[in-house]
Structure 1
Amino acid sequence: MVAVNLGAAHYWLDHLYGAIMHRMRLAPPFFSGGWGGPKLELLEQMSRQLIAQGLAQVSLQHWPPPAINPVWRTVWESRRARLQEGVFTTPCEEMLKQVLPIESQTARVRLLSPRNVPAHETSCVVHLAGTGDHGFDRRLRLGGPLLEKNIATMVLESPYYGKRRPPLQRGARLLCVSDLLLLGRTTIEEARSLLYWLEAAQGYKKLGICGLSMGGVHAAMVGSLHRTPVAILPFLTPHSAAVAFCEGILQYGTAWEVLMRDELLSGSMTREQVVERMRTVLSLTDVTQFPPPKNPNSVIFVAATVILLSILVYFLPFVFVMCCVSSLIHL
Structure 2
Amino acid sequence: MASRLEAEHLYKVFGRRPEEAMERLQQGVDREELRADGITAAVIDASFTVEPGQIFVVMGLSGSGKSTLLRMLNGLLEPTGGHVRFDGQDLTQLSARELREVRARKISMVFQHFALFPHRSVRENAAYGLEVQGVPRAERNERAAKALELAGLAGWEKSWPDELSGGMQQRVGLARALATDADLLLMDESFSALDPLIRRDMQDQLIELQKKLKKTIVFITHDLNEAMRLGDRIAVMRDGRIVQIGTAEDILVRPADDYVASFTQDVDRSRVLTAESVMDTDLRGDEADCACETAMPGTPFNELCAISARVSHPVAVLDKRQKLVGVVPRQRLVGYLGDEQGTPVRCATPRDEAVKAGA
TM, length-normalised to structure 1: 0.25
Higher strand proportion (structure 1 or 2): 2
Larger Rg, first or second structure (1 or 2): 2
TM, length-normalised to structure 2: 0.24
